[in-house]
Amino acid sequence: MKLSRAAQKVEDGIEETLTYMDFPTQHWTRIRTNNTIERVNREIKRRTKAIGAFPDGQSALMLVCARLRHVAGTQWGTRKYMNMDHLVKPEDGILSDSLAG
């Protein structure tokens, strides 16, 4: 088989790959994807392409920081990514045993 090394790598890493399944099912999609980070990166890339060439690295950094400040200050930056309420046991207010250890 030509792909025996690739198959072995997949087999060796299956436990790490499926770690997200130890968490509640409500979190699975949010854990295995990073859409929020990808969206921020796309926005920064779009802004830097619109500018073109920067005179120095400091001006590029200032643009990125300004964009991140804007995102953090808007409603989009303040939304919850995951609802953690169902991880707390209602009777004692601590994390459930499935995640604590």
**pLDDT value for 91:** 60
Q: Encode pLDDT of 35-70 as tens digits.
A: 777 888 888 888 888 888 888 888 888 888 888 888
At residue 73 the predicted structure's pLDDT band, cuts being 50, 70 and 90, is confident
Q: Which residue has the higher pLDDT, 20 or 91?
A: 20
Between CA 75 and CA 44 the distance in angstroms is 18
pLDDT value at 95 more than 70: no
Residue among 101, 96, 94 at smallest CA distance from 24 = 96
For the chain, give the percent of residues with pLDDT over 70: 70
Distance CA 35, CA 72 (A): 16
The residues that bridge with 95 in the sheet, in sequence order, are 88
Q: What six digits make up the tokens of 18?
A: 């499926």
